Amino acid sequence: MGFLISCNEKVEVPKAHVIIFFETYENQGIDIALNTIFQTNEYMVKQSQNDLQQLRESLHSLVNAIGNYHGYEIISEYSLGKSIMHFCCIVKYDIQPIRFNFTFYKPDNSWRLQNFNFDNSLITEMNDMAKYNYF
């Protein structure tokens, strides 16, 4: 099942959700982008509003400390069978990148966000991995 996005590139629905998330992130801001992606899963919407608010506040706090936004890249995507897809993205800022992870689940006929998280430990992890490449 494909999804047609504005650039006329045919992509799978979960990837389209990621692309739409970042279009919204760039044009309308963090809060609306998070609301949009969470709307794909009615159970996440019902989740504790305090949890979602903490996520928003944490992301705002991090973004406010690392400069201007310069786009994103999907650095990996993989699936488990035909029902679970995961996307890892680098979100580029002046001072450092942030990693966003999206996991989508298709229990029936529609894809929904199953998990979303972000962190800023990508560079540290790369440095740790590089230590082992010398042997």
Helices (H), 1-135: 13-28, 30-38, 42-46, 49-65, 122-132
Helices (H), 49-107: 49-65
Phi, psi at residue 47, to the nearest 5°? -55, 160
Report whether pLDDT(7) > 60: no
Structure-block tokens of residue 118: 């972000």
Instruction: Note the pLDDT of residue 134.
Output: 66
CATH 3.10.450.630 fits 2-132, yes or no: yes
Mean pLDDT of 16-22: 97
**Spans of all domains in the chain:** 2-132
Residue-wise pLDDT for 77-105, tens only, equals: 999 999 999 999 999 999 999 999 999 99
Residues 71, 48 contacting (CB under 8 angstroms): no
Residue-wise pLDDT for 21-70, tens only, equals: 999 999 999 999 999 999 999 888 777 677 888 999 999 999 999 999 99
Question: Which residue did the predictor score with more confidence, 129 or 94?
Answer: 94
What predicted TM-score, i.e. pTM, was given to this entire model?
0.86
Cα distance between residue 103 and residue 32, in whole Å: 19
Cα distance between residue 26 and residue 21, in whole Å: 9
Category of 105 on φ-ψ map: left (φ > 0), alpha (ψ -120 to 50) or beta? beta
Q: Which amino acid belongs to residue 134?
A: Y
Residue for token pair 């991995």: 129
Report whether pLDDT(4) > 80: no
Cα distance between residue 43 and residue 57, in whole Å: 21
C-alpha angle with apex 96: 94 to 102, nearest 5 degrees?
A: 115
